[in-house]
Amino acid sequence: MNAGQVIEIVELTPAPAVVLPRKVRLEVLGDEIGASIRRVEAAVTAAQVPVAGVPFVRYLTLGPDAEVEIGVPLSGSHSVPSLRSTLLPGGPAASIWQERPSSGLSEVFADLEAWIDRHGEPAGAPWESYWTSPDADVARTQIVWPVRLR
């Protein structure tokens, strides 16, 4: 883990969200995230649905072909045409804040996964919330990974 990075336990509140499911080659994931966030935001704006947080990418599987959900949390349960409704889970999660070039994601996930293995086990798919544009040279993100602690 890089110096200055702190993994902490946070308590998540369940949050309704809408997502655009994608299966994408890992080498083009960064481009897909930016384009998909713009599509999600446009659909939510057109549906006049209140957003309750920043865009996120939930990583269902990683590998040469990543399965992800790109979405936004909502203020209450709403339906948005062309997007799938989901729920971001509540409960304990390991969390880490990052300011990094987008190319450093795999190292951060490896560090977080190793930490979780020492302290418990994963309790769901991790997601990354974008506090800056995913297209920024240096992205500010928060990664959370639901966990069951020992």
Q: CATH no. for residue 65?
A: 3.20.80.10
Q: Which residues pair with 25 in a beta bridge?
A: 65
- Amino acid found at 15: A
Within 10 A of 36 (CB to CB), how many other CB atoms are there? 23
Q: Is residue 49 part of a domain?
A: yes
Rounded CA gap, 8 and 150, in Å?
15
pLDDT score at 2: 55
Q: Tell me if residue 61 falls in helix, strand or coil.
A: strand
Mean pLDDT of 12-31: 92
Q: Is residue 104 part of a domain?
A: yes
Of 17, 148, 28, the closest CA to residue 78 belongs to 17
Q: Is residue 2 part of a domain?
A: no
pLDDT score at 1: 54
Rounded CA gap, 27 and 44, in Å?
28
pLDDT score at 80: 96
Of 128, 132, 103, 111, the closest CA to residue 30 belongs to 103
Check whether 138 has a pLDDT greater than 80.
no
Number of domains in the chain: 1
Helices (H), the chain: 29-46, 105-119
Q: Is residue 136 part of a domain?
A: yes
pLDDT in tens, 34-76: 899 999 999 999 999 999 999 999 999 977 898 999 999 999 9
Q: Is residue 27 part of a domain?
A: yes
pLDDT in tens, 75-132: 998 999 999 999 999 999 999 998 866 556 778 888 899 999 999 999 999 999 999 8
Q: Is residue 145 part of a domain?
A: yes
Q: Is residue 1 part of a domain?
A: no
Q: Which domain covers residue 21, as residue numbers? A: 8-149
Question: What pTM did the predictor assign?
Answer: 0.91
146: confidence class by pLDDT, cuts 50, 70, 90: very high
Q: Is residue 66 part of a domain?
A: yes
